[in-house]
Structure 1
Amino acid sequence: MIENFIFGIILSFLAGLSTAIGGIMAFVFKDPGPKFLSAIMGFSAGVMIFISFAELLQEAIAVYEIFVGSLFFFLGMGIMFIIDVAISHKYHFQEDYFKKECTINDRLTRASIFVFLGVFIHNLPEGLATMVGSLENVELGIILAIAIALHNIPEGIAVAIPTCASLDDEKKGFFWAFLSGMSEPIGAIVFGLIFIPFINEYILAALLAVVAGIMVYVSVDELLPVSQCFGNEKMSMIGLVSGMFIMALSLAFL
């Protein structure tokens, strides 16, 4: 169990680190392009939705049966709804934001602060998700970390661009993108320290269902709408189906 805990921390750190990759992409590639962003967000949603229903929720149903297992699933969705209402974070991917015109003004400063805070708080339960998956088994932890890392890349872009625009500093844009992802290992560590002494089959099954609810909510409320808003619905759908298909293959052969 301790080995899984340490592995969960490492995985959550690596998943969170992908926001820094997004921060780098924002300035190296200037404009990642709507097709790429649409596809990668759709792909991440496909992975997270499929594994939530095909693996995580099934574990809870096997222990609690469908009614109680589903209650824990909807509890996870409720938790994310509360976080979503309390801390809304919007992506500023409009065309003007891709233009590297770093001018300081109040609007951009507010945007950079709220986007950073939103992504930072939003990533806390994703650290929990990686840790819970790792406690169940290492392979599941790796799969969850990869899915989370994929959609953290656009989040890093979202943090870096308005931060650069408000501070006129690419290094600070990268730093705040990196920092926004570090809430994931924080969430993993806090969760692990609280729950590991009490972990058993029933608690783990309940947490897996809660994590499934969290990931489905994130996918339906955030990833898919953002993927569609890039204006390339076909790439979004290709990414979604590809993510589900690859996830099905990985579950079948891992």
Structure 2
Amino acid sequence: MSLLSGLATGIGALIVLWFGEPTRKVLGFYLGLASGIMGIVVLADLLPSSIIYGNLFYTLTGLLIGIIFMFVFDWILAKILFSRKQFGQGRTQSKFYQQMGYFMTLAIALHNLPEGLAIGAGYETQSQLGIRVALVIALHNIPEGLGIASTLLLGKIPSIYVFLLSIATGLFIPLGTLVALGLGQIVPYWISIGLSIASGAMGYIVVKDIGPESIKLHPLLSRFGMGLGILIMYIVYNLHH
């Protein structure tokens, strides 16, 4: 179940690859959808779950670690992996999307690991709970795959690598579940800190990159995508409960 929920990210990537490189309007919608979903996942899922598994101190500590981690990763991408010229006045559009795509890939991989731990912990408590958590994660992984694949494709990354990177982020879910099942009695604080680190990472990229870029590409379709993403997650969470 955990593996299937992780592979759902690849479904989102396949949709993008099937229809080809998105136009500005379509990308604005995709990124709006991804930012709406990721924003709700942080506010309605990751942060509350982090507090439940641990406490406010662990949640705030993890949140700060996640933000600092993504800030450092952002700096490494901008200053080391890509030349200063590309990220100065002469920065090309494809390099910009390439950076954003790698950024999204890392943020989503980071949030998938503790969610995999949560599936494992759910199965340890009650198998039905583990199945419901896996279903919720699978449903919100599809539009996350859309966001990753769209930006990487515009970053001129070859299609096969776009697909493999999307699948790779999903594989962090069963990896987390295997860790949880291997440990047997998992320490709740680990999940708490993991979820809050993921919250910081995802929140950082939504506020700094995905949200503003989607609005810049097409304000109307971006907001429509955000609204749709929020609605999808409302339905998914109601299914879960």
Q: Same fold (TM over 0.5)?
A: yes
Greater displacement, 189-198 / 16-25: 189-198
Find the counterpart in structure 2 of residue 178 from structure 1: 163
- 1:153-199 per-residue CA deviation (whole Å, 9 max, x = no partner) reads 243244345648xxxxxxxx332221222321443455455555442
What is the DSSP-based 3-state SS (H/G/I as helix, E as strand, rest coil) of the residue aligned with 1:87?
A: helix
The code of the aligned residue for 1:237 comes to: R
* The one of 17, 24, 37 aligned to 2:18: 24
Contact residue 128 and residue 184 of structure 1 kept, 8 A: no
Render the CA deviation track for 1:123-181: whole Å, top value 9, x for unaligned.
532542552453343433433343343133243244345648xxxxxxxx332221222
Counterpart position of 1:45? 35
How many residues are paired up?
A: 219
- Read off the aligned partner of 2:12 and give its amino acid letter: S
TM-score by length of 1: 0.67
- 192, 197, 200: which one pairs with 1:210? 197
Cα distance change on mapping 1:233 and 1:108 into 2, 3 Å:
closer
1:234 CA displacement: 2.3
Q: Secondary structure of 1:220's partner?
A: helix
2:140 aligned partner: 147
Letter of the 2:132 counterpart: E
For 1:118 and 1:69, the matched residues in 2 are separated by: 22
**CA separation of 1:85 and 1:23: change in aligned 2, threshold 3 A:** farther
1:84 match: 74
Deviations 1:48-83 (A, max 9, x none): 212322222112223433233222222222222232
Identity of aligned residues (%): 16
Pairing 1:235–2:224 present:
no
Task: Give the corresponding residue for 2:234.
Answer: 248
Deviation for aligned residue 1:227: 0.9
How far off its partner does 1:239 sit?
A: 2.0
Instruction: For 1:62 and 1:10, locate their aligned partners in 2 and report how far apart those are by CA, in whole Å.
Output: 26
In 1, Cα distance between the equivalents of 2:44 and 2:199? Answer: 10
Encode CA deviations 1:16-52: one digit per residue, 9 max, x unaligned. 35323322221xxx6x333332223212212221232
Measure how far apart 1:224 and its partner are: 0.7
Q: Which of 9, 12, 29 is equivalent to 1:15?
A: 9
Structure 1: stretches of 5+ with no match in the other structure? 1-6, 91-106, 165-172
What residue number does 1:58 align with?
A: 48
Structure 2: unaligned runs, 5 residues or longer? 83-91, 123-129
- 2:59 matches 1:69: yes
How far does the alpha carbon of each residue in 1:83-131 deviate from its partner, in whole angstroms, 9 at most, with x for none?
23223599xxxxxxxxxxxxxxxx9998998788666656532542552
- Superposed CA RMSD: 3.6
TM-score, structure 2 normalization: 0.70
Distance 1:138 1:218 in 2: 29
Q: Aligned ranges for residues 185-224 of structure 1 at < 5 Å? A: 185-188=170-173, 190-192=175-177, 194=179, 196-198=181-183, 199-224=186-211
